[in-house]
Amino acid sequence: MRILHTSDLHIGRTLYGRKRYEEFDAFLQWLANTIQEESVEVLIIAGDVFDTSTPSNRAQELYYQFLCRIASSACQHVIVVAGNHDSPSFLEAPRELLKALNVHVVGEASENPSDHVIVLRNSNDTPNLIVCAVPYLRDRDLRVAEAGESIADKQRKIVEGIARTYANVTAAAQQKCAEFNCSIPIVATGHLFTAGGFTADGDGVRDLYVGSLAHVTASIFSESLSYVALGHLHVAQMVNGIQTIRYSGSPLPMGFGEATQQKSVCVVEICSPTAGLSNSTTSYCDSSESHSASKASFFPSTPNNFCPTTSVRTLNVPLFQELVSVRGNWEIIATKLHELVQINSSAWVEIVYDGAEIVGDLSERVSSATKNSSVTVLRILNTRVITNILQRSNEYETLDSIEPRDVFERCLNQSKVPNEQRPELRLAYQEVISSLQQCDSNAE
């Protein structure tokens, strides 16, 4: 059985206002081709399919075109679970229709653990994989709020709720194995933050529970699981160094903080010690031989002492759009921009000026340096100007705590804009803000 694990597609995400549909389209085409070339039988998307709960029409089009393409390939099943960015109801809306394409969607947590147990069958209609399809678990799925609770109490209940959910769903999967009177590999999905996990600056990973991150440990995942496909963290990583519990990471850099990361997907192979790799006709239910177990407690409730082995490798995702972050004084910035222009780069660039000299015409300098080139500067951050603008009235004042209009007024004051020019600038600023607020999120 060969599985491809990915997550955190965030289809529809923009970068400082720049739409990225061409990138998402290129990745999904690459993924479909890879699934065909690698003879992948099961695709798992572990949450955050879309970037928002109300994805645009174009984002939806890319998603459904991809699923239709996979349905006509050698891939037999697709498992999709919701992440914290997804709308569970939106993702599940076409669930019954997608079942006809062997696409299994789980958006919301169910009180019945069996609802999360999906039995996948091969071309001979023999069950050969069980998936514990657990989506992002929301606060209401995990605990009952009580008066007088401390933050520590809430966090403890959340972690206990997550552990309880996985224990119950795994037990239901093992019970299903017992009903089949055979040993079938079990894999699980998840969209959460595990203890020790690491992130990148600007990756957009949101807090999940009670305003902070409830970190769970690898111990919540039963040893009876052949593989755990996780989502939420954008950096590809193993959990506690365990090969079979992994975050695939986001396939595209979500921000400039991820610009230097090599993105990848995970290819998981589960097979018996005597079976050939990726043999979809292999039936674990027909096995009467006793095989050596890689985990002592694998399938303790099943009749056979059988344990499939799991191997994991990563496939690098091509870079579809170069992102470059340049930080330093003007000399460093100018040199890097010149290098990009000279090689005819089409990179999207972030400029972070932190030099000692106050440069009031930074935007003009950058524009001049990249004129008539394919380099696109998406963001210019002049830390010196911001520091001067934010003359904090108290130690707790930050940029996030100030209203946008107040920031604009401080910019006018700092730049010493004449009073007679301010009314027109304020009106133009208000028109920009109004257009953003009235934007149709479901339109391309």
- Cβ-in-10-Å burial (0-12, 13-18, 19+) of 74 comes to middle
Q: Treating both helix axes as pointing N-terminal to C-terminal, what angle do 57-71 and 21-37 enclose, rounded to 10 degrees?
A: 10
Residue 53 CB: number of other CB atoms within 10 A? 15
Query: Torsion angle, CA of 287/290/292/298, rounded to 10 degrees?
Result: 70
Backbone φ and ψ for 201, nearest 5 degrees, come out as: -60, 135
Residues 234-243: b if buried by 16+ CB within 10 A, e if exposed? bbbbbbeeee
Residue 256 to residue 236: CA distance in whole angstroms: 16
Report pLDDT for 437: 53
**pLDDT of 134:** 97
List the domain boundaries for the chain.
Answer: 2-316, 323-437
Cα 58 from chain centroid? 19
Closest Cα to residue 141, out of 107, 99, 186?
107
Which structure tokens are listed for 238?
A: 């193993």
Give φ, ψ of 423 to 5 degrees. Answer: -55, -45
Distances (CA, A) of 296 to 132, 300, 431: 20, 9, 65
What pLDDT is recorded for position 158?
A: 85
Fold classification of 323-437 is Double Stranded RNA Binding Domain (3.30.160)
pTM: 0.80
Q: Which of 320, 427, 382, 345 shows the shortest CA–CA distance to 15?
A: 320
For 176, list phi and psi in degrees, rounded to 5: -65, -40
Q: Is 52 exposed, middle or buried (0-12, 13-18, 19+ CB in 10 A)?
A: middle
**Helix, strand, coil % (nearest 5) of the chain?**
35, 20, 45
Cβ-based burial of 151 (10 A; exposed 0-12, middle 13-18, buried ≥19): exposed
Give the separation between CA 428 and CA 437, rounded to whole angstroms.
Answer: 15
> In this predicted structure, what is the pLDDT of residue 155?
80
Helices (H) and strands (E) counted in the chain, each on its own, are: 11, 15
Residues 299-308 as b or e (16 or more Cβ within 10 Å = b): beebebebbb
Give the whole-angstrom CA distance, residue 185 versus residue 187. 7
| β-strands 42-46, 77-81 pairing | parallel
Give yes or no on whether 2-316 and 323-437 have one common fold.
no
Q: Which amino acid is at 391?
A: Q
Position 399 scores a pLDDT of 59
Look-up: residue for tokens 């222009």? 341
Asked if 348 contacts 322 with a C-beta cutoff of 8 angstroms, the reply is yes
Query: pLDDT at position 283, please?
Result: 44
CA distance 413 to 408: 9
Residue-averaged pLDDT of the chain? 84
Q: What's the confidence (pLDDT) of residue 426?
A: 84
Q: Rounded to whole angstroms, how far apart are CA atoms 95 and 109? A: 15
Those residues whose C-beta lies under 8 Å from the C-beta of residue 11, and which sit 6 or more positions away, are 24, 49, 50, 51, 55, 59, 62, 63
How confident is the model at residue 200, as a pLDDT?
64
Note the maximum CA span of the chain: 89
- According to DSSP, the residues that pair with 242 across neighbouring strands are 239
Q: What is residue 59's predicted lDDT score, i.e. its pLDDT?
A: 97
Res 389: pLDDT: 59
**Would you state the pLDDT for residue 344?**
96
Distance CA 319, CA 233 (A): 19
User: What are the pLDDT tens digits along the chain (444 aa)?
Assistant: 899 999 999 999 999 989 999 999 999 999 999 999 999 999 999 999 999 999 999 999 999 999 999 999 989 999 999 999 999 999 999 999 999 999 999 999 999 999 999 999 988 888 999 999 999 998 888 777 677 777 777 788 888 899 999 999 999 999 998 898 878 999 999 999 887 776 666 555 655 543 444 678 899 999 999 999 999 999 999 999 999 999 999 999 999 989 999 999 999 999 854 343 344 434 445 433 333 333 333 333 333 445 678 999 999 999 999 999 999 999 999 999 999 999 999 999 999 998 888 888 899 999 999 999 999 999 998 876 666 555 554 554 555 556 777 888 888 888 889 998 888 888 778 767 766 655 555 455
Q: Give the number of residues written for the chain.
A: 444
What's the pLDDT score for residue 201? 62
Residue 69, CA distances (Å) to 11, 47, 78 in order: 17, 20, 12
Whether 333 contacts 350, CB under 8 Å: no
CATH of 2-316, one of 3.60.21.10, 3.40.630.30, 3.40.50.2000, 3.30.565.10: 3.60.21.10
